[in-house]
């Protein structure tokens, strides 16, 4: 989510302990994608639970955070949103991403390795671009989303990207 200056918790070790306490750990040991916003007094103020493959809507989360600490949210928005969003640029390859997305880093590296020019749009800064991505990705702000000559590829799939670009497929070993 980038630029966040308050504590976040991710349930890595011991695996599943927090997810189990909050009731979102499945019997098979996997967790649902769950967001809990807890205020400074320890009260749960927001719960959003999705299947692990679904991307939650960050706009809803930011509304809750704005209620808790309006001054921090106003500062975040003033430094992270473009006031005058631009229409999609005309380019053969447009990469919609965020600075912190691991799959976005892989897509950037692939385009650089293949010497493929692309234009990058940070959806965390441009709400119009984020809405465009949501329209292509069934309402989710999935990154990266790539527009290659009008073919939309949601998430980085090297084989699909190679096909869309007309490249010889290179096997991953």
Which letter does DSSP use for residue 138 in this model? T
H-run or E-run covering 120: strand 119-122
Residues whose CB falls within 8 Å of the CB of residue 162, separated by 6 or more in sequence, listed in order: 168, 169, 170
41 vs 105, which has greater pLDDT? 105
21 vs 89, which has greater pLDDT? 21
Is residue 85 a contact partner of residue 133, using CB atoms and an 8 Å limit? no
Q: Which CATH number fits domain 17-80: 3.30.720.200, 3.40.30.10, 3.30.200.20, 3.10.290.10?
A: 3.40.30.10
Instruction: For residues 66-81, give the mean pLDDT.
Output: 64
pLDDT-derived band at 55 (thresholds 50, 70, 90) equals: low
H helices present in 81-146, as ranges = 102-113, 127-136
Q: Could you give the C-alpha distances from 34 to 41, 50, 63, 130, 163, in angstroms and in order?
A: 20, 6, 17, 21, 35
pTM of the model as a whole: 0.59
- Which residue spans of the chain are classified as CATH 3.40.30.10? 17-80, 93-165
Residue 125: predicted pLDDT:
79
Q: Which CATH number fits domain 93-165: 1.20.1560.10, 3.30.420.40, 3.30.530.20, 3.40.30.10?
A: 3.40.30.10
Residue 173: predicted pLDDT:
42
Residue 29: predicted pLDDT:
81
Residues facing 44 on adjacent strands: 38
Residue 170: predicted pLDDT:
62
Instruction: Give the integer Cα–Cα distance in Å for 115 and 44.
Output: 48
The pLDDT tens digits of the residues spanning 103-151 come to: 999 999 999 999 999 999 998 878 788 889 989 988 888 899 999 999 9
């Amino acid at each position: 989510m980038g630029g966040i200056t308050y504590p976040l918790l991710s349930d890595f070790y011991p695996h599943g302990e927090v997810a189990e306490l909050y009731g979102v750990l499945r019997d098979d040991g996997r967790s649902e994608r769950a967001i809990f916003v807890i205020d400074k007094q320890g009260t749960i103020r927001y719960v959003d639970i999705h299947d692990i493959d679904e991307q939650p809507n960050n706009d809803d989360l930011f509304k809750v955070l704005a209620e808790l600490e309006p001054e921090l949210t106003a500062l975040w928005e003033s430094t992270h949103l473009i006031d005058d969003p631009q229409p999609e640029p005309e380019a053969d390859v447009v990469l919609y991403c965020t600075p912190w997305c691991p799959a976005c880093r892989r897509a950037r590296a692939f385009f650089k390795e293949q010497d493929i020019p692309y234009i990058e749009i940070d959806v965390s800064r441009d709400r119009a671009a984020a809405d465009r991505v949501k329209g292509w990705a069934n309402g989710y702000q999935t990154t990266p989303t790539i527009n290659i000559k009008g073919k939309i590829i949601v998430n980085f799939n090297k084989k699909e990207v190679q096909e869309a670009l007309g490249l010889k497929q290179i096997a991953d070993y």
